[in-house]
Amino acid sequence: MGYAVRIESAEVVITSPGRNFVTLRIVTEDGVTGLGDATLNGRELAVASYLRDHVVPLLLNRDASRIEDTWQYLYRGAYWRRGPVTMAAIAAVDTALWDIKAKAAGMPLYQLLGGASRTGALAYGHASGRDVPELLDSIRAHLERGYRAIRVQTGVPGLASVYGVASASAGGGERYDYEPARRGSGPRVLPAEESWDTRAYLRHVPTVFEAVRQEFGPELPLLHDGHHRMTPIQAARLGKALEPYDLFWLEDATPGEDQAALRLIRQHTTTPLAIGEVFNHVHDYTTLLSERLIDYVRSAVTHTGGVTAMRKLLDLAAVYGIKSGIHGPTDISPVGMAAALHLDLAVHNFGIQEYMPHTADTLEVFRTSFRFEEGLLHPSDTPGLGVELDTEAAGRFPYQPAYLPVNRLADGTVHDW
């Protein structure tokens, strides 16, 4: 039986239950609602304006079932292609339309994507500490919560705070466990500025992994994020130094836009490499995939054009034996997280899924059905994405300006993070 129904309305919802989220809510003429995540951390209002002013007027009265055609219409018709703002907006539309189609079919989305390839998606959690003892405690806590794979981040001696470390404080002094953009305080919100020392970091990190392996043994999958802070030769040095500790991956070792850097890193180390959370299009990956310069694709569904584009990207990666590692921090809303989980369950070349539980306030706004059990995530068998938006609750959490931090070297130079 065919399904063709017109889009009756499309609404952009901005809410901030602890951090800012942008959600597109599409309603068809027969009352079916679809949700798409359009959150771009620290630049949320740019995507909201793109949707409201340029995309929503184009959606009204379009056939909600024509997902591929709508994707191409929005991408090719704009002339100005790619970029995080454009691709996040298109992703929101695409994901919402897939939500609608799956609800109309009475199936969870993963069934429309070919059905389950596994019982659940292996998830990794974020353990961190200002020093090694605090880190080890954090790893224990994550293991107790059921995680089977752990990302390891620590403070660096001599640095007051390090992005990605839970106990670092900023703004009003709040504890930032999950790397949100920082709200700051006062009438004018500016990005926090952190000092950085790459040489100190390179000396320290191998000793951290030595301590973790001594405490938890060789079997636990361990991951580490370099947050783009290294030059190619520095990243090669770190990858080589970490080889004895058998990392699951070293992520974002160098700035993502310099793809040639991965060739140099690959020449010097066998530590698996992951990159892509700042990418937003398959063309960002073509060299990395065809030359097998990475082992895991790290894009988010939210920032890479939605379910349609992400599925194509992962299918291309599969040709080269490269696996998924979809971006999943808490600046991806539960809507974006659910979309990732449906793909995780369906694609053949799944690797691992980043998972950071959202706050109670966030889960009051976004009513979720996906579950985390014994280290695995499952999107649930609820028709569609399995997430509903409580618009009344969303209205209780107004937008607040917030920004990711800026890194500076000792001489004051702005540095990659």
Active-site residue 142, yes or no? no
Q: Which amino acid is at 252?
A: D
Instruction: Residue 37: name the closest of 380, 326, 377 by CA.
Output: 326
- 3-class state of residue 45 by DSSP: helix
Residue given tokens 């695409």 in the structure block: 94
Partners of 371 in beta bridges: 378
270/245 Cα distance (integer angstroms): 12
Region of 298 (left: φ > 0; alpha: ψ -120 to 50; beta: rest) is alpha
97/70 Cα distance (integer angstroms): 9
Catalytic: which of 126, 142, 224, 227? 227
What H or E segment, with its residue span, contains residue 146?
A: none
What does residue 284 show for φ and ψ, rounded to 5 degrees?
-70, -15
Please answer whether residues 156 and 166 qualify as being in contact, where contact means their C-beta atoms are separated by less than 8 angstroms: no
The two three-digit tokens of residue 1, written as one number: 């039986």
* Angstrom distances, CA of residue 30 to CA of 57, 95, 99, 103, 271: 19, 19, 14, 12, 52
Catalytic: which of 147, 163, 176, 245? 163
Active-site residue 227, yes or no? yes
Instruction: Residue 355: name the closest of 162, 121, 166, 22 by CA.
Output: 121
- 3-class state of residue 67 by DSSP: helix
Please answer whether residues 222 and 209 qualify as being in contact, where contact means their C-beta atoms are separated by less than 8 angstroms: yes
Region of 386 (left: φ > 0; alpha: ψ -120 to 50; beta: rest) is left
Give one DSSP letter per residue of 252-318, joined into a string. --S-TT-TTHHHHHHHH--S-EEE-TT--SGGGTHHHHHTT--SEE---GGGTTHHHHHHHHHHHHH
Who contacts 49 (Cβ-Cβ below 8 Å, separation ≥6)?
A: none
- 3-class state of residue 261 by DSSP: helix
> Catalytic residues, which ones?
163, 227
